[in-house]
Structure 1
Amino acid sequence: MAQLFRFLFTDDRSRSEVFTFMIPSNFILDMDTELKSRDFTSSNQKWSLSFHKNNGLLNTYLTLKSCYEGMIVTADYGITLINREHFTRNESFYEKNARFTYDNQSQGRKAFVSIEALCTLDFMDERGNIQCELEIKNVNTGFTYDAQIPPTPSYIRNLSELKYVSGTFSFGNYEWNVCIQPKMDSMGSITCLKFYLCRLSSLDHLCRISYRYKFINGGFVHDSGIIEQYSDINGASNSYRMDKIKELLQMTGKFVIRIDLIKVNSVFPIILYPFSNQPQPVHFYDRDRQAWMMESCVEDNCFILRLFYTDINNIPSGYVRVMSFNISVRHQNSAVYVFKKPVIKYYYKRESDDGLEITTTIDVNEIMSENGGYLDQDEGITIEMELYYSHLLHQPEYSHLDDIIRKQKLQMHREIQALQQENYSLEKQLHTLQGANVAPNPAQGPRTKSFENASASSTASSGVGTSISSLNTTNPNLSNVNQNGQVTPNVVKKYYEQKYGSTTNMSTGGPNQNMGMSSGSSQLDKNNQQYQQQQQQQQQQKNGSSRTGSDFFNQTFGQSNPNQIQNNNSNNPDNPLGAGLSSLTSTFTSGIANLKLTATNFQANKFTSKLMNPFS
């Protein structure tokens, strides 16, 4: 038998539960072909785990033990065989939204792993045992029943005896059914339907159950919402009233009942008399027929409870019982929980239990007051012990098998740390590269290309005196989209606006901008005139009395428009000096135009280029 070795409830959104089983060596090494575990409870359903050997391969199955016709149970589960060396060598598989029905109560994996691999890859300990982990989560239980109620039932003597009962289903290790009782008027027509959820087993204690109804007839769907209530010791509960009879029954009276079962917990009520002269302890039994005792007292204006597990000596030797429960104090129609979260206790075999002492936060004066709502007519106070789960585990003492899980936990922690360090290093490199891409590059960056393209287009189209407005009249989204079509983040835009100023004044030509540009342009013209005069003097000294060169420079620097150069001898093949001077003049004039336009547009193009290519 595969013994249940450890249990863990993670208390997460998926309601995950992890069961650790021990596969004995005699199953792996001997001729046995089948191995099963004891029945265990998970998410209010009873399950079992089985292993089968076939042709040197191990097959694994998860079986739902109590499944009736009309029940549908879906669950996510995974099975893992633990490797003793490293967690990356574990053998595992995972099934999501597995469907368990009356016709298909088992789900699993054929040819899960080879027996040879289990014997050679450090899965076995020194005794040949193997650890197997089963994780179950997201378990949903539903029951569907096709009901038929005639819109006008035949006459019967006692209308209170008219009821319809659904099939049986299981939930929380209890058996249930739905009882439908119609209410009729004097004319014999149904006015409403009452639905009762009835418990058919373990009628010696209370249950707290949560569920919801769905009534379906064609396109008509009615949802009751989540209902939470008690099921008393007789198995009865409060009814749910359905008034939409015409939509539900229609002509045939056939409709579908679907009940989604959410959770159910066993509740054991205890009535104590803490204010009597000699308070007496109260004995009670849980659902596993284990005896408990509870007593109460008042000390220093504090209401104190003591809980004892009196059957602790009946726990089998070599086992430990793990339980999760909470205790509440009844207050009229509500309950005040003593603990904020359920308590988890481990009990192993010994002579007697030391007990669990619980000091409540309820004021004693409030309990004793007539309008407090805690005491009944006999001055008794009702305490409820709500049991969530109870499992019997093998090998209560800490052993080397627990070290394997701790070892794998440490390995996973180190792997996560290494991945975090690698992620941090990559993020740091990415940040450095982004900073380098944002930094300007005047020599070879896109700004120089834009200057050359702008100056060339200006010179070719309208000469050196072309206005800067032709360059700035571009796409209005230019400041938000770079050359690669990528959108510039607003934070980058604001950064460059603060550093270089706003592009609005540059593009619209504000007064301060025009003043700076005009003054810079006039100063540049003066420098150009001085430079031209010096060049003219040097050329005159070089050429002496050459009239062609002298006339050429006089015409060049005397014209108002430098592009309109008059040189009749430049195209004369008999005058090589004129042709050379014409080529030199064209090159010099283009350089002057580029210099003026570059200096004039420098501030505007500086910001525009940065904004267009912040990450290039």
Structure 2
Amino acid sequence: MLSGRILREFTPDIYSKDFVYGYQKWNVSFVRTDRHIGAFLKLQSPSQGLRCRLDFSFTVVNRDHFTKNVSFIEKSCEFSPDASVFGRKTFIEIEDLLKRNFLQETGELLLEVEMRNIHSIYECFMRLPKEIGAGNHHNNNHNHHATSHSIHHHGGSRRDSYEERMESTYFMFGLSDWSISLFPDNSVAEADGSVEVQLQRHTSFDHLCYVRYRIILGDEGTFDSGDLEQVLDASGVGEPFTIGASVHRLARGRSTLRVKVEMISVVSVSEVYLSAIPSMGHSRSSTGGGLGGAARAHCYDRDKQAWILEADLTGKYLAFRLFYTDISHVPRKFSRYVGWNIRLVSKGGSPRPKRTVDGPYSKYYVQQEADDGYVIRTDVLLDELKESECPYLDGEDRKMTLHIEWMDSHLLINPNYTSLDDVTRLHKHQMSREILALQAENYALEKQLYSYQQSLAKTTSGLPSRSNSRANSCERNSTVNRM
């Protein structure tokens, strides 16, 4: 909702609160001129070398009919530190807002902002070591060139043959700082060399995270990793992977190596451990709906909200219940929307965690004394948990390891909004997009028809008319008669 005071003279610019989309922080602003209201979208978390490309639109909603709405669309806008704001100064005329029934009963304007198809790409040029195996080089960083320096060992691990680290500058994604490190293998000849690549997170160390990304090395995409998914531990260090080519071969004789990183997604993860021993009692638990004596684990989401996960071992298949224990702390007149997913981590066999059935999940929470819990089902038979070689249980304490992915968390001002409202809102959004697509198609057909008409008119004007043809024919006949 945009305050109606934007229509008054000498009104200062109006800014929205910051919000997150595509793992970046944004806000919108509205600027009044003598005749128009301007609307702008700004990237609040720009990083040197990072470009965010996306489509967005602004729409001011008319009270009478949706066909009277006024909107504009910007496609493939590339946000960067040098160009962090896009929009239109002349979005809508003030006179139109006053005369065409745009003001709501509260005196405010209802606006919609849509953002789609975001791509976040970081790019830098890493300066190569001058001498192979020399070690401990320190090159200054110019024009986003990364430094080359001695490797820091993490967690006591050693890379004896990887004496140097080439590291990028930091960039922002998912409200955390990241960098890419390359570890050239200088212990062998250049033709047989290799390089390790490692993604690192430098902030937000309170959670594990799943990160999806893609790395391209070389000016012409000499190496393309494709989409990768990794688990980064609480220290922020990911598992490195090895490329079977030296940095000099990847750079193709140049003194710098071009590095592009497309960041796709990052999700905070709570790692919990649950016992697989069935509960003997069936009394109600204090969490509001669980089984007494059930295996449970406490955890916190990325907003420091407290939760409890219980294992439900009473049916044929393994199931879980997730309780929002801080539900009594949801502010009055607000609701909290939370989206999550759960993976059952395998101890052996398949390297990929097993997702639960019907995920991901979401729910709207309002203030109440206790949460009844959200049932999460799996297709894992309880009989499998009794097997000595069960891939989901630790061999010693017989506990399951689960990863809760906290995908979304938003505090909403409307406490009565539920998942049922999502359906009608989605349908409205789909219909409006269909109408826009049909309008664009109709406009394209009209242009094509006009082009055909113009072409036909030119063709017709180049042909002799019937009267001229008859006159020419009579003239030829009279000439023949004279002869």
Asked if Structure 1 and Structure 2 have the same fold, meaning a TM-score greater than 0.5 normalized by the shorter chain, the answer is yes
Mapped contact 1:40–1:391 kept (Cα < 8 A): no
**Residues 454-493 of structure 1 mapped to structure 2, 5 A cutoff:** none
**Residues 399-478 of structure 1 mapped to structure 2, 5 A cutoff:** 409=428
Give the drift of 1:176.
0.4
Mapped contact 1:60–1:112 kept (Cα < 8 A): yes
In the alignment, residue 344 of structure 1 is paired with which amino acid? S
Mapped contact 1:215–1:258 kept (Cα < 8 A): yes
Give the drift of 1:252.
4.5
Mapped contact 1:86–1:411 kept (Cα < 8 A): no
Aligned partner of 2:232 in structure 1 is 231
In the alignment, residue 91 of structure 2 is paired with which amino acid? F
**Would you say 1:381 and 2:361 are equivalent positions?**
no
In the alignment, residue 166 of structure 1 is paired with which amino acid? S
Give the drift of 1:153.
4.2
Q: 2:413 aligns with which of 378, 388, 394?
A: 394
DSSP 3-state at the match of 1:331:
coil
DSSP 3-state at the match of 1:74:
strand
**Residues 45-84 of structure 1 mapped to structure 2, 5 A cutoff:** 45-84=24-63
CA distance in 1, matches of 2:61, 2:172: 33
Aligned partner of 2:467 in structure 1 is none
| Percent of paired sites with the same residue | 31
DSSP 3-state at the match of 1:125:
coil
CA distance in 1, matches of 2:430, 2:294: 55
Aligned partner of 1:205 in structure 2 is 207
Q: Would the alpha carbon gap of residues 32 and 292 (structure 1) be closer, same or farther in structure 2, given more than 3 Å must change?
A: farther
Deviations 1:64-83 (CA, angstroms, capped at 9, x unpaired): 11111101110011111111
In the alignment, residue 152 of structure 1 is paired with which amino acid? I
Mapped contact 2:120–2:263 kept (Cα < 8 A): yes
In the alignment, residue 322 of structure 1 is paired with which amino acid? Y
In the alignment, residue 171 of structure 1 is paired with which amino acid? F
Mapped contact 2:357–2:379 kept (Cα < 8 A): no
Q: Would the alpha carbon gap of residues 296 and 30 (structure 1) be closer, same or farther in structure 2, given more than 3 Å must change?
A: farther
In the alignment, residue 408 of structure 2 is paired with which amino acid? Y
Q: Would the alpha carbon gap of residues 330 and 88 (structure 1) be closer, same or farther in structure 2, given more than 3 Å must change?
A: same
Give the drift of 1:160.
5.1
How many residue pairs are counted as aligned between the two chains? 392
Q: Would the alpha carbon gap of residues 53 and 200 (structure 1) be closer, same or farther in structure 2, given more than 3 Å must change?
A: same
Mapped contact 2:163–2:186 kept (Cα < 8 A): no
DSSP 3-state at the match of 1:248:
helix
5+ residue gaps, structure 1: 1-21, 424-616
Aligned partner of 2:175 in structure 1 is 173
In the alignment, residue 21 of structure 2 is paired with which amino acid? S
**Would you say 1:23 and 2:13 are equivalent positions?**
no
In the alignment, residue 84 of structure 1 is paired with which amino acid? R
CA distance in 2, matches of 1:283, 1:411: 39
Aligned partner of 2:334 in structure 1 is 319
DSSP 3-state at the match of 2:96:
helix
Give the drift of 1:293.
1.1
Give the drift of 1:171.
1.4
Q: Would the alpha carbon gap of residues 28 and 396 (structure 1) be closer, same or farther in structure 2, given more than 3 Å must change?
A: farther
Q: Would the alpha carbon gap of residues 323 and 46 (structure 1) be closer, same or farther in structure 2, given more than 3 Å must change?
A: same
Q: Would the alpha carbon gap of residues 90 and 183 (structure 1) be closer, same or farther in structure 2, given more than 3 Å must change?
A: same
Comparing 57-66 with 338-347, which one deviates more in the overlay?
338-347
Aligned partner of 1:479 in structure 2 is none
Aligned partner of 1:306 in structure 2 is 321
Aligned partner of 1:364 in structure 2 is 382
Q: Would the alpha carbon gap of residues 51 and 279 (structure 1) be closer, same or farther in structure 2, given more than 3 Å must change?
A: same
Aligned partner of 1:294 in structure 2 is 309
Aligned partner of 1:590 in structure 2 is none
DSSP 3-state at the match of 2:67:
helix
Give the drift of 1:167.
0.5
Deviations 1:436-469 (CA, angstroms, capped at 9, x unpaired): xxxxxxxxxxxxxxxxxxxxxxxxxxxxxxxxxx
Deviations 1:400-449 (CA, angstroms, capped at 9, x unpaired): xx9xx97x949969x97xx9xxx9xxxxxxxxxxxxxxxxxxxxxxxxxx
Aligned partner of 1:337 in structure 2 is 355
Mapped contact 1:33–1:54 kept (Cα < 8 A): no
Aligned partner of 2:102 in structure 1 is 123
Q: 2:260 aligns with which of 241, 258, 261?
A: 258
In the alignment, residue 198 of structure 1 is paired with which amino acid? Q
Comparing 333-342 with 359-368, which one deviates more in the overlay?
333-342
Aligned partner of 1:519 in structure 2 is none
CA distance in 2, matches of 1:375, 1:159: 37
Q: TM-score, normalised by structure 1?
A: 0.59
Q: Would the alpha carbon gap of residues 216 and 349 (structure 1) be closer, same or farther in structure 2, given more than 3 Å must change?
A: same
Deviations 1:565-604 (CA, angstroms, capped at 9, x unpaired): xxxxxxxxxxxxxxxxxxxxxxxxxxxxxxxxxxxxxxxx
CA distance in 2, matches of 1:352, 1:54: 51
Give the drift of 1:281.
2.3
Q: TM-score, normalised by structure 2?
A: 0.74
CA distance in 2, matches of 1:59, 1:106: 12
DSSP 3-state at the match of 1:195:
strand
In the alignment, residue 312 of structure 1 is paired with which amino acid? I
**Would you say 1:154 and 2:134 are equivalent positions?**
yes
In the alignment, residue 221 of structure 1 is paired with which amino acid? T
Deviations 1:267-293 (CA, angstroms, capped at 9, x unpaired): 211111130664442111111111111
DSSP 3-state at the match of 2:205:
coil
Q: Would the alpha carbon gap of residues 192 and 323 (structure 1) be closer, same or farther in structure 2, given more than 3 Å must change?
A: same
Whose strand proportion is higher, 1 or 2? Answer: 2
Q: Would the alpha carbon gap of residues 168 and 366 (structure 1) be closer, same or farther in structure 2, given more than 3 Å must change?
A: same
Deviations 1:376-411 (CA, angstroms, capped at 9, x unpaired): 021110122112222222222369xx9xx97x9499
Whose helix proportion is higher, 1 or 2? Answer: 1
CA distance in 2, matches of 1:95, 1:410: 18
Deviations 1:151-182 (CA, angstroms, capped at 9, x unpaired): 51424597655212111111122210011212
Give the drift of 1:107.
0.8
CA distance in 2, matches of 1:83, 1:103: 35
In the alignment, residue 387 of structure 1 is paired with which amino acid? W
